[in-house]
Amino acid sequence: MNKDIQDQLYDPKRKGETWLDFVKSHKHIRKPNGQLDLKRISDLWHGKDSTKLNDLRISGSRKKLARLANHLRKEHPSTKGKMRLLDPPKRWLAAMAEGIRKRSDVKNPIQTARNIWERLKPASKQDIINRAKRGEKFKYNLPLPDDRETHGTGTLRMVKPFKLVEVQANVSGKDLEDARRSGLFRSMKRNDGSTCQVARCKSKEGNVNVFVDKV
């Protein structure tokens, strides 16, 4: 996915962005009469969650996701019930916003999902709209952190002269296998014959190594 889309997951208001730039990038937020909804845009600019998503206290249950979809329908009514290519389907938007809310700390998950929608290719948008028309259900599938629980004790090693930081994490056998399949790690044989997964990052600022072993 485009890097700009991933950046939206963590900072919807970009550093150095002016108020005018922010309004231009949110010009799709309009009142029913078609005029810019400057109040809602101002709420986003000041970090307020105008959609009150947090107040909904939604979870993964069908009833609460339906509740969110109904809330979105009232907040952003479509033209005569027809889906336009520029408007994300309510079920898709609800599923993505719920996934973002669970996996990140952005202040407005719904707006973040909308920002991602705007950057999708027209063909991808049309495919999602067609699936929504067929009544398909949507699951969260955006590239956010895949958190895994660590088990037992781990180690954080810092070697200041070499600007080196190493982290040792112990996970379940299933999580270790998932890490291997992710393609983010390389397999490394330990002296005791076991195999761990290691990710390395070298730069002028410092070096970071992450070792993942089976608990």
* Joined tokens for residue 211: 């070792």
Q: What percent of the chain has pLDDT over 70?
A: 71
The pLDDT score that the predictor gives to residue 162 is: 87
For 11-16, what is the mean pLDDT? Answer: 54
Cα–Cα distance for residue pair 42/36, rounded to 1 Å: 11
Per-residue pLDDT reduced to its tens digit, 107-149:
788 888 888 888 888 888 888 999 999 999 898 877 656 778 8
Sketch the domain layout of the chain as residue ranges: 3-133, 155-214
- Exposed e or buried b per residue across 13-37, where buried means at least 16 C-beta atoms within 10 angstroms of its C-beta: beeeeeeeebbeebeebeeeeeeeb
For the question of whether the overall pTM of this predicted structure is more than 0.75, the answer is no
Strands 207-214 and 164-171: parallel
DSSP string, 109-140: HHHHHHHHHHTS-HHHHHHHHHHHHTT-----
Helices 90-103 & 122-133, crossing angle to 10 degrees? 110
